[in-house]
Chain A
Amino acid sequence: MAIVLVLVLIVVGSVLFHLLSPWWWTPIASNWDYIDNTIIISFWITGIVFAAVVLFMAYCVFRFRHREGNRAAYEPENKRLESWLMIATAAGVTALLVPGLFVWSRFVNVPSDAADIEVIGQQWQWSFRLPGKDGKLGTSDTRIVSAENPLGIIPGDPNGQDDIVVEAADLHLPVGKPVKVLLRSIDVLHDFYIPEFRAKMDMIPGSVTYFWFTPTRTGNFQVLCAELCGQGHPLMHGVVMVDTEQDYLAWLGQQQTFAQLSAPKQTGSANQPSEKTMASSLDVAAKLEKLEAR
């Protein structure tokens, strides 16, 4: 009999936990509230099914538990009941799937006015590249990655010369403008994940993947890596700041282009970013060592 009580408690407890617990998704900061809505629909449908099945089971156990002289009914099957249940299930599944596929088609079709930005992952830091004035990203190749050209931008490609390189630093985005995020990795798999934006995608060395979103509120968001990428994986944090248009332009003005960075050492400043990379890599290495030393 305890099991009947426990089954009911599990349903009640799970529902109450769902409604009352403080653990819920972070406030959204992109256009993907569609996804949140699909999740809400899923919670409703699946929650009802879960409660119905478990409560029915509890009732059966209570009502038909063994007592002296009881004998079970004899009923091999019931075609009608089974057909109805199948139809109801199929309807429920369709109700989940249709909105899901509808939102997915929005997810895979990038709006034509989305601005390209590139995110480059490497163990264990994030770098970014913006297309510059011509609006085009230059081609790149992992084979030519070096300390002077850490993102592997092909120097011979004129489109690449004005690309803005943000190496191992924060990325800024203007609020309200759709962006298409092109993802690239120069070593292992990574995954560019900002919980508040909901969207994420793996980055694969050797190819370019993408997703798109529109930031809907300004703020400071933490980038996490969501695909296991070696022992520094949990420390691979980054920052994306969503700015107002003015703040964004101000930030953009301070950034250096690929041409500036790769110009033959005019001043000491040209080398700074790669020192910064070194510093950042060392930073992760130091953190790892600290952890291991503990």
Chain B
Amino acid sequence: MSVILVFLLVIAGFAGWWLSHQRLTAKPWLEQGVAGDFVGFDRSSLPTAKIGLGVFLAVVGCLFSLFTSAYFMRMGLSDWQPLPLPRLLWLNTGVLALSSVALQCAVVAARRGQVDTVRLGLATAGLTALAFLAGQLIAWRQLTEDGYLLASNPANSFFYLITAMHGLHILGGLVGLGRTSAGAWNGTQRERLRLSVELCAMYWHFLLFVWLCIFAVLAGWAATFVSICQRLLT
């Protein structure tokens, strides 16, 4: 359960940092009759939707940390046989990164108000994300053809489960991306489009980050890294 505890520690750090700026030691009964003196303590200046997405991403992060925790705990048991990762995953990683880059370009363009570039960025991001999903499916097929079936070993089960969960989140993101693109083509108000594109980019970058983490875990580098750290500590 160490992965999830580390994750929660990070969340707690954020929460603690935020709370420390909220005057939690103030004596509210002495501050009567004032309403306007606390500008900055009311709410964040960030758009509400971004904060909402941020909270949601924390939940998603929690979910994947728990999968990883379970992965490491199950890995310690005797019947674990690591499976060779298809090399295609490298290509998929590149495609997903490209998708993120495309969205980042769209964000920059949206800030400048270049709608055409925004459209291009959104379309590229959408297509590359679809390509990533297709690549993941092909990787699954390669594995099953090589005899690495879902139920034959826990390492396989975890591989399919975690990649499927990640894929589902990409799929959900594509729905959001679709709505943003519809807005971009139908000429939504500029500010709105910008926010919408920024939200998509935020989600995409996060899922790319999650993918890099789980790729490292599935490939076994994370375990190696942890054992090196342990050796350094002892």
Contacts and interface: CB of A to CB of B under 8 A. Distances in A.
Chains A and B share a contact (CB less than 8 Å): yes
Interface of A: 76-77
Contacts of A77: 27
A209 to B, nearest CB: 15
A76 B27 CA distance: 9
Interface of B: 27, 29
Contacts of A76: 27, 29
A77 B30 CA distance: 12
A77 B27 CA distance: 10
Contacts of B29: 76
A154 to B, nearest CB: 15
Nearest to A206: B77
3 contacts: A76-B27, A76-B29, A77-B27
A41 to B, nearest CB: 32
Q: What 3 A-B pairs have minimum CB-CB distances, sorted nearest first?
A: A76-B29, A76-B27, A77-B27
- Chain A interface mostly: loop
B46 to A, nearest CB: 33
Contacts of B27: 76-77
Nearest to B79: A206
A76 B29 CA distance: 7
A198 to B, nearest CB: 29
B31 to A, nearest CB: 12
A76 B31 CA distance: 13
B142 to A, nearest CB: 31
Nearest to B29: A76
B80 to A, nearest CB: 14
B154 to A, nearest CB: 13
B126 to A, nearest CB: 46
A135 to B, nearest CB: 26
A29 to B, nearest CB: 37
A91 B160 CA distance: 51
A77 B29 CA distance: 10
Nearest to B78: A206
B79 to A, nearest CB: 10
Nearest to B28: A76
Nearest to A74: B29
B29 to A, nearest CB: 4
A183 B27 CA distance: 57
Nearest to A76: B29
A233 B155 CA distance: 34
A15 to B, nearest CB: 39
A204 to B, nearest CB: 12
A100 B200 CA distance: 53
Nearest to B30: A76
Nearest to B77: A206
B77 to A, nearest CB: 8
B28 to A, nearest CB: 9
A213 to B, nearest CB: 29
B198 to A, nearest CB: 43
B11 to A, nearest CB: 27
A56 B29 CA distance: 26
A78 to B, nearest CB: 13
A36 B175 CA distance: 61
B103 to A, nearest CB: 46
A157 to B, nearest CB: 18
